[in-house]
Chain A
Amino acid sequence: MSRALELDRSPVPAATVLIRGARLLDPRAGLDGRADLLVRDGAVAEIGDALEPPQGAELVNGEGLHAFPAFVDPHVHLRTPGREDEEDLDSGTRAAAAGGFCAILAQPNTSPVVDSAPVLRSLRERARAEARIPTGFLAAITVGQRGEQLTEMAELADAGAAGFTDDGLPVRSAGVMRQALQYQRLAGRLLALHEEDPSLSGQGAMHEGEVSALLGLAGIPSISESAPVARDCAIAAYEQGRIHVQHVSALDTVETIERARQAGTQVTCEATPHHLLLTDEAVRTLDTNFKMNPPLRGEADRQALIDGLRSGVIDCVATDHAPHAREEKEQPFEVAPMGVTGLETAFAALHSGLVVPGVLELGLLVERMTAGGVPFGLPVPRIEPGAPANVVLVDPDAEWEVGEAGYESRSANCAFAGRRMCGRVRMTIADGAVAYRERTFALGAVG
């Protein structure tokens, strides 16, 4: 537990940048107003009016733009090793930087599964050569994600595992879940849980409801998620362990977590932009870019997620960015794999869908999008002097169509493809280095 979590990325020069005249918004630092922001040698150096750029600094005109602490995504599939045709560390972290993220955590359901220290070490080594932004790697809870035998969690934690998850699959057995929570006392690190009861999900391809009845698709009922969440909250409480529920999709899950938390259970959770913005109505078209697990649910579920995000029952936004090859998604709905990409659209989608219509305060969205590392023990990015520079610069009024200029990701299976968005990331500074600059966004330099 005392070991600090280290993320990996390729070596980059520390940035010295002066952003002039942007609205600086960091609710946690009590910051909201127009000012100049000076980043010197990779750290926030000064916030003030009419700051002078140091020699060699890059000068950014922030007129009309917002600067937030950059976002943290605790749930990304980088498909490496094994499916580098769908995503690799370079493309995945480029997509993350383009979405305004300064840190991400990758899931271990790769081929091979990240269930041993050698696999984890080689992945971290690759990240130190290829990753554009700091990247952490979760390891599996059970060997091969088969749900039977615990991985060598203590060694994996020593080798730098950011946490443990069998994401993509649930830990079916309550007994194995209990052992993992007991073992957490030794290994430390959070257990992040994909909650699903396979006997309730069956062959389900979408949410069980009116739309699945109409389409003749087998449905995944919301109890398939909420029932095992209740089980694992009970086990976590009994063992005094800590769990993080991934991609919460259903109203009853939000209520279950809220009750458990009120009773003192150490449980955190996340929700995705697609579950916060879309419902099973979208599946009527049988567009496979609306197929993911857990599935898009009903409007009452979606409203419960929004309420949870507002109240804090839902701690953070996670994209569950899940790239798939085009030919795999160009199949009938029941056959196509589950998962959608989301790194590049997360902020724009939530800004357009919740902030612009007045459903959610911008500051609250920034808080939830920056909180993804907290359950795992990562620091929250902040805009305050002395802090490492993790800054995203956003044009809140820029309109664009998702996919119009392609994607940084190697895959295009985005749930928001073709939608008009309002709000665009112009620049991302991740842990002191410029990780992304939008193509049309020119920078001036001070000679």
Chain B
Amino acid sequence: MRRHLLSVDDLSRDDIERILGRAESFAEVSGREIKKVPTLRGRTVIHLFYEASTRTSSSFELAAKRLSADLVTVKSIGSSVDKGESLKDTVQTLSAYDPAAIVIRSPHAGAAALVSRWTRASVINAGDGKHEHPTQALLDLYTLKRRISSLEGLRIWIVGDVLHSRVARSGILAFSRMGCEVTVCGPPTLIPRGIESLGCRVRTTLDDLPEADVVYALRMQQERMDGTFVPSLREYAAQYQIDGRRLRPNQLLMHPGPVNRGVELAAEVIDSPQALIVEQVESGVVVRMAVLYELLAGHGAPSGVRAEPETEPQPA
């Protein structure tokens, strides 16, 4: 594994298996009353968030804290970023604190890769524009593996606004790397031309949805519902909403959150036992702990900076 996590493409199947295994051992720690391990004690992690985020930022924060890292969070609002400082200058300034890792969320594709050129820290992509969201894909794999031991040959349908979804892009790459068959489905106006080249099939109706083992619904963003991409919310829901009628009892349901109830998902499926949505959120912390561990203390860390011997994490 490389020094940074910028794209799912940076990860081999072995890398993914190792991270998921590591997350498993952190899950055991999370079950204890004191959930902290000393792995990253004395090391600094910077969170640089240029976009609003609840799940990703809070779970990265918890992950860093449970590994005992010193955490600095910079949000674009109220910081020098707000005063027009360039990304490069911000990164170079923050790098002066000698952070071990910079976790960045940006509205622009490639931002994490750019940051990795301007700092010695390990860079973790927490979402770059509509490009990728690799830790989301990892936590999705982790969540699914806890229910289904082998992902090989699993049929996954990703349904909704694929065009604007970094979750979909990282998901297609990650699921297919683990041997799943991925189908994307959504309104033709929200399926990017050429998406098949990522290794998925394309459907524009839910007619074949019964073949899916897992239905992964994407968030339909408010600003896309104004009539330019879909004629109306009503029409979208009629064609693509996953409801109790469309979701078969043997199918699992996932969603990256936050859910628009009554749009991409009907209330009855959100609260059904088939839904893994809450488990996805839970997985976020341990998977991000595992990613931080891998990059900073584990296999991928440069020699000489390994903070802890490679043993199972102990409670602090």
A residues with a Cβ closer than 8 A to B are 208-219, 221, 286, 327, 330-335
Q: What distance in Å separates the Cβ of A51 from its nearest Cβ neighbour in chain B?
A: 55
Report if B192 contacts A (CB, 8 A).
yes
Bound form: Cα–Cα A212–B129 in Å: 13
CB nearest to A332 among chain B residues? B108
Number of A-B contacts (CB under 8 A): 70
Contact B110 A209 (CB under 8 A): no
Bound form: Cα–Cα A209–B169 in Å: 15
Apart from A208-B192, A217-B130, A332-B110: 5 A-B pairs, beta carbons within 8 A: A208-B193, A212-B194, A214-B197, A215-B110, A332-B111
Contact A216 B130 (CB under 8 A): yes
Contact B192 A219 (CB under 8 A): yes
Q: Could you say which residues of chain A place their CB within 8 Å of the CB of B205? A: none
Known A-B contacts A216-B129, A216-B131, A217-B130; the reply to A333 vs B109 at CB < 8 A is yes
Give 16 CB contacts A-B under 8 Å: A208-B193, A212-B192, A212-B193, A213-B192, A214-B169, A215-B109, A215-B110, A216-B169, A219-B192, A221-B193, A286-B110, A327-B88, A332-B128, A333-B109, A334-B109, A335-B108
Interface string of B143-172 (1 = CB under 8 A from A): 000000000000000000000011001000
Contact B194 A334 (CB under 8 A): no
Q: What distance in Å separates the Cβ of B228 from its nearest Cβ neighbour in chain A?
A: 9
B residues with a Cβ closer than 8 A to A are 86-88, 106, 108-111, 113-114, 128-132, 165-166, 169, 192-195, 197-198
Contact B194 A210 (CB under 8 A): yes
Contact B106 A332 (CB under 8 A): yes
Q: Could you say which residues of chain B place their CB within 8 Å of the CB of A286? A: 109-110, 113-114
Q: Could you say which residues of chain A place their CB within 8 Å of the CB of B86? A: 327, 330-331
Bound form: Cα–Cα A218–B131 in Å: 10
Q: Which of A210, A217, A219, A332 contacts B114 (CB 8 A)?
A: A332
Q: Could you say which residues of chain B place their CB within 8 Å of the CB of A215? A: 109-110, 131
Q: Could you say which residues of chain B place their CB within 8 Å of the CB of A332? A: 87, 106, 108-111, 114, 128-129
Q: Could you say which residues of chain B place their CB within 8 Å of the CB of A213? A: 192-195, 197-198
CB nearest to B162 among chain A residues? A213
Contact B88 A216 (CB under 8 A): no
Q: What distance in Å separates the Cβ of B87 from its nearest Cβ neighbour in chain A?
A: 7
Contact B108 A333 (CB under 8 A): yes
Bound form: Cα–Cα A214–B169 in Å: 7
CB nearest to B192 among chain A residues? A213
Q: Could you say which residues of chain B place their CB within 8 Å of the CB of A331? A: 86-88, 114
Bound form: Cα–Cα A210–B192 in Å: 9
Q: What distance in Å separates the Cβ of B57 from its nearest Cβ neighbour in chain A?
A: 20
Bound form: Cα–Cα A210–B200 in Å: 12
Q: Could you say which residues of chain A place their CB within 8 Å of the CB of B165? A: 216
Bound form: Cα–Cα A352–B290 in Å: 48
Q: Could you say which residues of chain B place their CB within 8 Å of the CB of A208? A: 192-194
Contact A217 B197 (CB under 8 A): no
Bound form: Cα–Cα A212–B169 in Å: 11
Q: Which of A210, A219, A333 contacts B110 (CB 8 A)?
A: A333
Bound form: Cα–Cα A332–B112 in Å: 9
Smallest CB-CB A-B distances: 4 pairs: A332-B108, A216-B130, A286-B110, A210-B194
CB nearest to A287 among chain B residues? B110
